[in-house]
Structure 1
Amino acid sequence: MNIIYSYLLEHLRSLGLTEFLVKPTAAFTCILLIVFVAWFAHFVTRKIFLKIVQRIAARTKTEWDDILVRNKVFMGLAHLVPAFILFYTADFSYPNIHTEVSELDPEVYKTLSQDYYWGLATVLLKMSRLYFTVIIVYVTNAILNAGLEIYNTTEYAHHRSIKGYVQLVKIFVFFMAGILVISVLLEKDPTVLLAGLGAMAAVLLLVFRDTILGFVASIQLSANDMVKIGDWIQMDSHRADGTVIDITLNTVKVQNWDKTITTIPTYALVSESFYNWKGMEESGGRRIKRSVAIDTNTIKFCDAAMLERFEKFDLIRGYVREKEQELKEYNKGKNLTDEDFISGRHQTNVGIFRKYLEVYLRQHPKIKQDLTFLVRQLAPVGKGLPIEIYVFSNDQAWANYEAIQADIFDHIFAVIPEFELRVFQEPTGADLEKLIKRS
């Protein structure tokens, strides 16, 4: 380009062009020529190099090369060709001398200044270096994105997300790129700028507080396997109840069951408590924990007529007979009189009802039998005697789980009167109206 520039100077002078226009016209023409050559080289590189790479990637069986192409890694590398052209042609307007400008004789400096631009090379070199910096950032960002996508295709990605770490590396790359840009523009050593940033450490800690906390939290979440994409978590303090769809350096996104999105700071999952329902999902069952309140006024001992009727129920026939035989033998050993009824042991309608629920649930095809299985009485309160069902369904799908639970309690409410029991229910307006009419 030095030769072309010199030729343009001589040719323009030979054409009789005004002297003060000769030098800028030659320089402008060379700049246009350099830009065109750089653009053409980039165009050819894209058309040839990228086409070859894409064809090779399409023919291979591995997926990682397709991911590199899809994330435009090679497209970024193609920009290196015009960048090198701009860099090595930036000094076209600088004379071919090996002496420092400050050491030149004033007359020589004046003579050379008529044909050459002393500062243009510096400006063009700055632009080419900035171009290199942008290319490096672009390619590095593309490689990191491709690496993350490649990692997500492995079996480890489901258990440990590295998206937060990738984002941290990106922040570091952009930070260093910013230092390089400033050093190029100010013509300062980057190490000097980095040393000066030591005094700004406190400010940086404040600016990047969430990022630093998020990075530490990401390490803890990953190392302790606390949460991963696809987990169902519940965090009442942030009104989150749903599936984790994204984990980044600063935030965790949860898609709630109503399809809204809740964004939680990553460090909040470490500093605050939350429910992770992963254990429930891995167990193969989903808990049913619900109680029905029995009116205590309806609880009583079973007489012979009641026991005879209960023996007609297939599910509890064996239990009623065996239990009655056991109690008769016990009472017989106590030599109790017929009048001393309360000193002996007798079956109650609520006890038989509780046993009925146990046998009924043991035979239920939708109840998982190898997990916790309880049919128990809770402490009686002012609203009756709670009989609690604590079992696990073998279907975890929300709609199916709710249907199973509803079917079980539909049956329970319907069968309670057969045991001469009544569900406790607070008085309603209709009850009060009936009471007034009776009075």
Structure 2
Amino acid sequence: MKIFNFSLFLKRFPIERAKEELLQISEIKEADYEAFLNSKKAEIVNYHLKNNPFYRSKVKDGFSTWESLPILKKEDFQIPLKERLSEGFSEKKVYINKTSGSSGNPIRFAKDKYSHAMTWAYHMERFGWHGIDFNSSLQARYYGIPLDLIQNKTVRLKDFLAKRHRFSILDLSEKALEEMLNVYKKKPFNYINGYASSIVLFAKFLKGKNIVLKNVCPSLKVCIVTSEMLFEDDKILLEKQLGVPVVNEYGCSEAGVIAFTNKKGEWEVDSKTLFVEILDEKNRAVPLGDEGKIVITSLHNKAHPFIRYEIGDYGALSEESTLKKPILKKLTGRTNDFAILPSGKKAAGMTFYVVTKKIMEESGNIKEFKVIQTKIDTFEINYVSEEALTVEKKQFIIKTLEQFLEPGLTFNFNRKEQLDRTESGKLKQFVSLVEI
């Protein structure tokens, strides 16, 4: 019995109809794809202009050209959800979720049931590239879990229906990692899915024991990491210690999967349920290969308008991209992941993190670390390690960082047993507490 498909059916998500539409879209030729996208874009805009008073209030000058439409940000949605729903939809008749809040205040949003079915159908198609079937493949899951009793039981039920075993990532102590390894010895997992930082920490544990996970769990096929930045050296570590290919999934709760590693190793962008733009600070499209802010349009969501929606990330599309097959060349971080320095210089926090990571891992015993800017001239570097950093190593790190940033900054190093994570279990590697 296809229990996952059946669970979607019980929730009245028309998954089979969604799969059929995805198949039809796949058969559209590249030469005809621009016309298809233009038709879908016009259809969703005109629908919301007719049926959604909230969106109508945002489009003050009418719909003349695509570029004339406003760019919507999270702050545009900071009103009650019921005031943003299209006519004919109520909170009882839609799928409701909320954003993580990692780039500002979280927002509740809605998707009509067919739109949500399209998201799931696309998700299933992409995982299928790597031999994963949600109805039969057993997942080792690295996500957080609610502490509230009712929410906890709900998540556990969803895990059962989706054939998932959820590991606690709020406890990643040596003892917990040892127990985790024992589970792999007993259960025939087909794939790993979850936050990169937690899986990388497990891989470092395996490396310390000289263990390749696939030798322990031969049924394992692939590791799919999501939600956090995956660095190339971490990917190499994962593939070596897990013994399986590593796939990078990029998405957001509002849109679902935005980009997913295909069988050729390309980070392929969803052009079937989304229209993705890369824009400059003046909201103009940038040339392929250039970096800009990522703006998405959900082509099927009639319950709630995500049209030219700025999700808060920066990235670039590959020069080889086409309308039917866009390729994400790089993802460079969130809009709020910047360090503001005393001189006024603005440094990308993730780049700052990469420099620190390279230096610290040369010491050979750093497991994880997190950089927090507490003041305009002060940074806390919290780290987990087998041994404390020496004075010489700290001085070298400070000297290198000042060359990259600017002199006169203060760096405080704090060795921790474990690093703080969000309620969902996500590790934000760089956090700024400085008001911009």
The TM-score normalised by the length of structure 2 is: 0.19
Radius of gyration: which is bigger?
Answer: 1
Select the structure with the greater relative contact order (CA < 8 A; seq sep ≥ 6).
2
The TM-score normalised by the length of structure 1 is: 0.19
More helix by share: 1
More strand by share: 2
